[in-house]
Structure 1
Amino acid sequence: MHPVSCERCATTVLVRKSSLAQTSVQWPDGAEGCVEFTEALAVDGPPRTAVIPTCTRLRAAIERAVSAGELAVVDQ
């Protein structure tokens, strides 16, 4: 697991890229600081399934970390 920070809200999560298509994200306690999640919860309420919506800014930070070689893709 590698720390990656969101460029919008500075929330830091731990990330593992098993493949280009699969990303595991471990959120710390206090992740309610994510602006995008807070906005989504205000509009849609809590998720009704096990699938958690993604933060587009965090996803972009993860992809940049992969492109920069800071986050390895395990299956490559």
Structure 2
Amino acid sequence: MESVRCNSCSNRVLVEKYSDAHTSIQWLDDADSVCPEFAKTRTDQDGRAWVPTCHKLQETIDDLIVSGQIGLSLRSYPVPGRLE
């Protein structure tokens, strides 16, 4: 996984890209408390909103992919810890 810092809020996450449709994002801190976009959406909806992603973070990741700083990762098989 690659360390990525959001261009909007500077929050750091880990990112791995497996295909055009599959990007894995690992938040290193609680997303609700470190992401202003998550916090704003929750405030606007009285805390009831479910936010599937931060669009500003996704834009940052997309920019890094286009510039070649994040490439496609190959999964290792068999998956460690999995019994066949």
- Give the TM-score normalised by structure 1: 0.81
Q: Which has the higher contact order (CA 8 A, sep 6+)?
A: 1
Alignment partner, residue 77 of structure 2: none
- Give the TM-score normalised by structure 2: 0.74
**Unpaired segments of 5 or more residues in structure 2?**
75-84
Aligned CA RMSD, in angstroms, stands at 1.6
Q: Percent identity?
A: 37
The structure with the largest alpha-carbon Rg is: 2
User: Which moves more between the two structures, 15-24 or 31-40?
Assistant: 31-40
Runs of 4+ in 1 over 6 A off after TM superposition: none
**Unpaired segments of 5 or more residues in structure 1?**
none
Shift of 1:30: 4.6
Shift of 1:33: 1.9
Alignment deviations for residues 4-47 of structure 1 (CA, whole Å, 9 cap, x no partner) = 11111100100011101111100012542211011112123253
Give the aligned length: 71
